[in-house]
Amino acid sequence: MKTKISIIYLFIAFTALVFTGCNNEGEPGPAGQDGLDATIYYSQWITPTAWMGTSGDWYFDVNAPDLTEDIVENGVILAYVWLADDIYDATAVRPLPAYAVGANWSFLISEYESIEFTSDMISKPLTAGNHFRFIAIPGNVETLKSASLKSVSETELRSMTYKEVCKFLNIPE
């Protein structure tokens, strides 16, 4: 009888160790500012020096070393445009893709560490006065579950205005 009770106690102790001792997440890293554990990357406003392509298929490339394979494949990339000839609102910052000034404006990542801004204007877009910017949010667990981002999905980020995104992510406009 004593052996049976000892085995039961050993079984309970072993079970308790198994359930409390297994931690697949590892040790938590140090918390960043406001609980943010990773860097959010953002460019300055970029003015194209020259558009390449042909009528209806214009583009310019920007070197963007922060757009690594991990960020492109697992993160969230937001891009914005401010167009000089925007007759509806000359101060509007539009999220990409957008339709303005009689054309579609967008961006794509054709290779890591580079971003390409595009337009389907018939005539070559202006270089002066048009400004582009991107924000890259890493897709790692720490960033997506940080205090700032845990309650916001990618869809919600994309539906925010430029000013709301900047304020939410503490990015200078």
DSSP helix/strand/coil, 62? strand
Inside any domain, residue 24: no
Inside any domain, residue 158: yes
User: What's the confidence (pLDDT) of residue 168?
Assistant: 87
Cα separation of 41 and 79, whole Å?
12
Inside any domain, residue 30: no
DSSP 39: P
Inside any domain, residue 11: no
pTM: 0.72
How many domains does one find in the chain? 1
Inside any domain, residue 164: yes
Beta bridge partners of 55: none
Q: What is the pLDDT of residues 107-162, one digit of tens each?
A: 999 999 999 999 999 999 988 889 999 999 987 645 555 545 556 778 888 889 99
Q: Which two tokens stand for residue 101?
A: 């000034």
Phi then psi for residue 157, to 5 deg, are -60, -45
**What are the Cα distances from residue 135, in Å, to 37, 150, 171?**
17, 18, 9
Q: Which two tokens stand for residue 150?
A: 């845990």
Inside any domain, residue 25: no
Inside any domain, residue 4: no
Inside any domain, residue 60: yes
Domain extent for 52: 35-169
